[in-house]
Structure 1
């Protein structure tokens, strides 16, 4: 049981996190942020396709609000200003 739990933990959390960190180092931050904004929608789509879960209208509105907020934060983020030395 412990080996199975370790594999589930590895493939459900550690591996995706590591892959996101690798992707973040190889692409512009704005593009990464834009792609990350789509994660709630992809999660809802996976729940619909694989688990046959149907979101209510309020839940869809919540997913849309999270996506809009993350997208807005990504697009309005300004690069850091170098400090004068």
Structure 2
């Protein structure tokens, strides 16, 4: 049994070989160039590809009042020596 990807590639190659319209060929070249440009992401760029959601996380964070409340509760619950 042949791999379906190989079969699809053969079909596309045959279709492209029979193609005569320059605009269609230009579109295919544009798709190819976009695809190869995406594949060429360097390691340093990949590090920054992660979404920066600092503002969203900050908005969901504690308010100053809630922080003070939790801090005072934490301090009150510490095992103080008397």
> Above 0.5 in TM-score?
no
Scaled by the length of structure 2, what TM-score is found? Answer: 0.35
Task: Choose between structure 1 and 2 for higher RCO, CA contacts under 8 A separated by at least 6 residues.
Answer: 1
Whose helix proportion is higher, 1 or 2? 1
Scaled by the length of structure 1, what TM-score is found? Answer: 0.34
